[in-house]
Chain A
Amino acid sequence: MKMHYGFPIIIGLVIFIGMLTAPFAVGTMTKVYKQPELKMPVGEKECIESKEFMREQHMQLLNDWRDWALRDGKRIYTNHAGKEFVISLQNTCMKCHNNKADFCDKCHTDAGVSPYCWDCHIQPEGLK
């Protein structure tokens, strides 16, 4: 059976699929994803947990920290190596990572997330 308007339909489909996949094609061909370069703390070599743990789970950890400190009144955290830290974003984390723009924001901007931590917590540079 002959297809009515076969040619324009096929052409239209090709254009449609081409446009649909264009962002992927252009993106993968022209740009290679590069992980953001973070400025690490100068004085400290080790974070409270391993780099991998922090990379994957810092949000979960901060969430747990919040409940432990505020709700359970337990403000000392013992890490997997047995070292103790005071539970506080502002007074523990940000004392080492003393540059929000060069550490936190780098990945958050990259990943397109905007956590509202600093709506309340004061960033180490102070507020302007």
Chain B
Amino acid sequence: MKNNRRTFIKLAGIAAAGLAVAPKALASSGGHSPVKANPKGLHATQWAMVIDTTKLHTEEEIAKLAEACHAIHNVPKIEGHKEVKWLWSDTYAHTFPEQENPHLAEEVHHRDFPLLCNHCENPPCVRVCPTKATYKRPDGIVAMDYHRCIGCRYCMAGCPYGSRSFNWGEPRKNLDLSKLNPEFPTRMRGVVEKCNFCVERLAVGKMPACVEASEGAMVFGDLNDPDSEVRQVLREKFTIRRKPTAGTEPCVYYVI
């Protein structure tokens, strides 16, 4: 009986070691990892877009891209201050307020610029979202989980680019129900929505809809891959980004 305490401590040690190993052993015994990424999908560590505004700068051309984007994502058409938009256009002064210059080339001043979510490397919308409904994916896309959005609109206040829209009313009331894209859901009242860089198309190996419709004026690719098409263009052409002083590191670049 003299060894009682010693044996107890030994046994306790073995039991503790067993507890540490057991969960892993149990998990691996299942051997069933049920999910994986689509092997046909496109992958990147940071998706980015370059828009050549020398080729694409009229309101009609941009409206055509917006049309393509809004049609496949079932984005409602609403006029006025309750509008919902994923892709739209605006003037130079509104697009690049920090780079305004009264003596800028006339032609540039008269251009329209395609605007969309910048999918920032340092997205303020993600930081302020209280429910993690908006988040940055490992591939750099700032995505939304509409299931979790509570419509507080902090992200809209946080976004320096106005890239987010709030669904004030039932979005389906402003959609042509016979022309819906049945592959993609609509949103509901009371959630914020925005461009998702066509995450659902990338997942099946397609390029974003606007890039496809732009006929070469938009380039899309991996910013961290020095051989990607995006990096190629960035190397060759001078580009600017929107509101650099906001420090959000936008991933949409404009060739001026």
Contact = CB atoms under 8 A, between A and B. Distances in A.
B172 A127 contact: yes
Given A120-B146, A122-B180, A126-B177, A75 B185 contact: no
Contacts, number: 68
Interface string B178-194: 10101111111000000
Given A71-B135, A75-B203, A80-B32, A120 B38 contact: no
Given A71-B145, A73-B203, A116-B188, A128 B35 contact: no
Nearest to A122: B182
Interface string A51-93: 0000000000000001010111111111110000011001100
B34 interface: yes
B34 A79 contact: yes
A128 B177 contact: yes
Most chain A CB within a 10 A radius of its CB, from B34, B37, B135, B172: B34
B180 A77 contact: no
Main secondary structure of the interface of A (DSSP, over half): loop
Nearest to A86: B38
Contacts of A74: 35-37
Contacts of B203: 73, 75
A90 B183 contact: yes
A76 B37 contact: yes
A120 B188 contact: yes
A76 B180 contact: no
B147 interface: yes
Interface residues of B, number: 31
A127 B177 contact: yes
Nearest to B191: A120
B137 interface: yes
B186 A120 contact: yes
B35 A78 contact: yes
Interface string B51-93: 0000000000000000000000010000000000000000000
Most chain A CB within a 10 A radius of its CB, from B35, B138, B203: B35
Nearest to A116: B188
A43 B46 CA distance: 42
A38 to B, nearest CB: 23
A53 to B, nearest CB: 12
B138 A73 contact: yes
20 contacts: A68-B35, A70-B145, A71-B143, A73-B37, A73-B41, A73-B199, A74-B36, A74-B37, A75-B37, A75-B41, A77-B34, A78-B35, A78-B36, A86-B38, A116-B188, A119-B188, A120-B187, A122-B180, A124-B182, A127-B180
Interface of A: 66, 68, 70-80, 86-87, 90-91, 116, 119-122, 124, 126-128
> Which 9 A-B pairs give the minimum distances between C-beta atoms?
A119-B188, A74-B35, A120-B185, A127-B177, A121-B185, A68-B35, A74-B37, A76-B36, A70-B145
